[in-house]
Amino acid sequence: MNATKEFLRSWLEENVGNLPAETEISVPMLAQQFEQDADAAGYGREVREQEVGNIEDAIQRALDKIGEDNNGAKSGPDEENSLAPVVEALEAVDPEQDIVEGSGKPAG
């Protein structure tokens, strides 16, 4: 996993991982906060877009994956908010297959 995806995974663990499952989550707000934190940590916007693609889409896919894994599987309290699915979702992200925001054309 590249450094930007690792930063996103860690960031999600810190900012989303401890929230109760029923908490309403705003993906645009999470994306905005991530962008600010990533800038502060030295991850430039161009590098983020190349390595992660559209951040809102990446966060939404990760959250959807968590929801899918949590719905149907009974888990203990330690596993309830596990972000292991986030890592899988982020590893599956190929930004070159994402659509360039606003253009309707594939990135790349």
pLDDT along the chain (108 residues), means of 10: 85 79 82 93 88 89 75 49 56 50 47
Flag whether 74 is in a domain: yes
Q: Does a structural domain hold residue 106? A: no
Q: Domain of residue 36: give its range.
A: 3-16+25-97
Does the residue 41 lie in any domain? yes
Rounded to 5 degrees, what angle do the CA atoms 58, 62, 64 make?
A: 115
What is residue 5's predicted lDDT score, i.e. its pLDDT? 86
Give the tokens for residue 40: 């502060």
How many domains does the chain fold into? 1
CA 72 – CA 81 distance, rounded (Å): 14
In a domain, 107, yes or no: no
Residue 93 lies in a domain: yes
